[in-house]
Amino acid sequence: MTADWRPERLIAIGDIHGEFSKLDLLLNWVSPAQNDQFVFLGDYIDRGQNSCGVIERLMEFEYEFPHAIFLRGNHEQMLLDSLAEIERDRQGEIPERTGLRLYNSDLEMFLANGGNETLRSYGLTSLDGIPKTHLEFIESTRLWWRHDNFLFVHAGVAPNTPLEQQDPVTLLMDRHSPPGENGIIHVVGHTPTSGEPYFEHGRYNLDTGAVFGQSLTACDVLTREVWQI
């Protein structure tokens, strides 16, 4: 896409968390077209029953719509951190652990926060068998993306800090950062709403709790048109 390209619809999709059926139905309902721009806000895996199917569906979508944007969520990061930790252990490296930690390892944190469900969706008991293509897709995800006055990020943005200097922990995990200012609108997931998207001045919140029995949401941020399954 050229720098001056303007999509007909700019559609963001909130946290999926392994809800393959909802994702498939939602995409069919929205009916993507080549003049649309799609942005997926991260947290594709964990907790739900079919993370494997979700990643496969997103890879198919990327093939059909190569300009789609896939952001990284904290759950994708936990998976990547676990894989890095396993590799360090294989190399005999001893990680330095400082401060208060709720879990003994990155792998333990991943498994305790929905990773066990992800492994079951692959028919696995360890991370070793996850297809390389799926891992490459997850590794290719971005921490943020901007289009005009819309800034898409999984969780939050630290104020008064250039995007290139943002702490990844803030982008992936923060629940208390302020909304955008001076006409900038943050489009985020991460913190579930009560089932409906929450539009506030400077921020659109699109994680509507799909994995908790609520809706999976797509929103054309240009018009605030909403689709929910």
**How high is the pLDDT of residue 103?**
72
**How high is the pLDDT of residue 95?**
61
For residue 225, pLDDT over 50 is answered with yes
Interval 63-70 mean pLDDT: 98
* pTM for this model (two decimals): 0.94
**How high is the pLDDT of residue 1?**
60
Interval 155-171 mean pLDDT: 96
As a whole number of angstroms, the distance between CA 129 and CA 71 comes to: 24
Domains of the chain: 9-228 (3.60.21.10)
For residue 180, pLDDT over 90 is answered with yes
pLDDT, one tens digit per residue, over 84-135 is 999 888 887 766 654 445 577 999 999 999 999 999 999 999 999 999 999 9
Secondary structure class of 114 (helix, strand, coil)? helix
Alpha-carbon separation of residue 27 from 60, 121, 165 (angstroms): 12, 21, 34
For residue 17, pLDDT over 60 is answered with yes
Identify the residue with better confidence: 189 or 105.
Answer: 189
Average pLDDT for the chain: 94
**Does residue 32 contact residue 60 with C-beta atoms inside 8 Å?**
no
Interval 4-31 mean pLDDT: 96
**How high is the pLDDT of residue 91?**
82
Residue 66 — left, alpha, or beta (φ > 0 → left; ψ -120 to 50 → alpha)? Answer: alpha
**How high is the pLDDT of residue 73?**
98
**How high is the pLDDT of residue 100?**
44
**How high is the pLDDT of residue 10?**
98
**How high is the pLDDT of residue 96?**
60
As a whole number of angstroms, the distance between CA 169 and CA 167 comes to: 5
